[in-house]
Structure 1
Amino acid sequence: MIDDVQARERIVVAADALFYAHGVNSIGMDAVRERSGFPLKRIYKLFPSKEDLVLAVLDHRSRSWDSGIARAAETAADPTGRLLAVFDFLAAWFREDDFRGCAFINAYGELGPGSSRVADAVRAQKESFQRYVDDLVGRIGGSPGLAAQLVLLAEGAQTAAAISGSPAAADVARDAARTLIEADRAAARDR
């Protein structure tokens, strides 16, 4: 018998794939049941509402995002390389066959106005990413404004890649990030 922890994980993975591919609103719990292989009774025992399942999916996505950018940063030889590795991570992600943009932006667009819990979860993930980039920028001695600019580049690249269907947005954003980093360094020298 599969315990509740394992069942939760399988249901979340199934729902994540469905929500990401088709949108949250177009997927009913019967589709989650079919994809996960668990009866609706078990799903609703673990996730009393669809919103609870969406929040679990967003938490799963957040952990995947955090570990993905951390792994990409680990491959870099220096602090600047760790910052630019964020865009390398995006480039690899944008090239995946099932890329449909940022799941957090997608969920916010569908549910944010009607679900304060989903909106809060999306904001928390975006704030977490901002703190991560703030830390990386601090390690190179960059200005606080630089971190906000780099995050905006990363977020914009996700949207541009999803809409255009082209992974080139990551490369353009990486080049722009390098330019911003160099300009920030030059401004610091001039002070």
Structure 2
Amino acid sequence: MASSPPRPGRDTRVARLPPRERILDAAEELFLREGIRAVGVQAIAEQAKTTKMALYRHFATKDALIEEWLRIVAAGYAAAFDGAETGHPGDGRAQVLAVARFIADGLPDIARRGCPFVNSIAGLPDRGHPARRLIEEHKATQLRRLTDMCRSAGARTPEGAAAEITFLMEGAQVSAQNGSVDRVGERLLTAVEAVLARAGAVGGR
């Protein structure tokens, strides 16, 4: 799903970060630009203006750094789901639309930098890799939460509606990343509303 928001004034901002945060910031910049497997620890250390030794004090291995970065990205999505639920208590339809808007709002950043999960999964062919498992667990949790929202909205088949909406949101991210479709955010919101209407989902009580 969507990437973290763009980070303005990177050079001056990064210089003020603690070492661990500088390393994570540098890793994100390089992983999104070049791919997680193409980037070495030395390049990350140089981007963070630190040393490999200092990097290894914070992260035992490069794989541990990849996993922590993806954990932070996943937490951003979890926070968006939390915000949709607290912002629209008891209104599953509004919750789903809030999540869809969060994805739509993040599409311009996806177009510039790519989706962290889409970009990373290609570099994680081992299904047992901790970072790969983190991505799969994150996606499964999101699907469960969307299903609960669709159920709260009164969808006749909440599992099916949630699967369709997930398909639309992830497809919108890929389309934004490769530039294959125009007005992706607008089309995503229209399509999600259509799924909810077809499923019989209604507003809050």
For the aligned pair, the TM-score class normalised by the smaller chain equals: 0.7 to 0.9
Which among 116, 122, 129 is matched to residue 116 of structure 1? Answer: 129
Farther-moved stretch of structure 1 (61-70 vs 139-148) = 61-70
Change (3 A) 1:21 1:88: same
Q: How many residue pairs get matched?
A: 182
Please tell me whether the aligned partners of residues 110 and 176 of structure 2 are also in contact (alpha carbons under 8 angstroms): no
Distance (Å, rounded) in 1 between the aligned partners of 2:110 and 2:142: 24
Q: After the TM superposition, which residues 87-102 of structure 1 pair with which residues of structure 2 at under 5 Å, given as runs? A: 87-96=100-109, 99-102=112-115
CA distances 1:132-173 after superposition (whole Å, capped 9, x unpaired): 212211211222211111111111111111111766222212
Task: Report the 3-state secondary structure (helix = DSSP H, G, I; strand = E; otherwise coil) of the residue aligned with 1:96.
Answer: helix
Higher helix share: 1
The corresponding residue for 2:150 is: 137
Identity %: 25
Larger RCO of the pair (alpha carbons < 8 Å, separation 6+): 2
Deviation at 1:26, TM superposition (A): 2.4
Deviation at 1:12, TM superposition (A): 1.6
After TM superposition, the structure 1 = structure 2 runs for residues 45-56 of structure 1, keeping only pairs within 5 Å, are 45-56=57-68
DSSP-derived class of the 2:37 partner: coil
CA distance in 2, matches of 1:23, 1:185: 42
Gaps of 5+ in 2: 1-17
Provide the rounded CA distance (Å) in 2 between the counterparts of 1:30 and 1:17.
14
1:86 aligns with 2:99: yes
Normalising by structure 2, what TM-score? Answer: 0.77
SS in 2 for 1:111: coil
Question: Counterpart of 1:176?
Answer: 191
Moved more, 28-37 or 49-58: 28-37
For structure 1, which segment, 13-22 or 72-81, has the greater mean C-alpha deviation from structure 2 after superposition?
A: 72-81
Residue number in structure 1 paired with 2:177: 162
SS at match of 2:67: helix
1:13-32 maps to which residues of 2 (within 5 A)?
13-32=25-44
Give unmatched runs, 5+ long, in structure 1: 1-5
Aligned mates of 2:142, 2:115 — CA distance in 1: 13
Is the contact between residue 73 and residue 86 of structure 1 (CA under 8 Å) also seen in structure 2?
Answer: no
Alignment correspondent of 1:67: 79
Correspondence for 1:40: 52
The yes-or-no answer on 1:103 pairing with 2:93 is no
For residue 82 of structure 1, give the secondary structure of its aligned residue in structure 2. Answer: helix
The residue identity in structure 2 corresponding to 1:132 is R
Q: Tell me the equivalent position of 2:166.
A: 151
Amino acid at match of 2:184: A
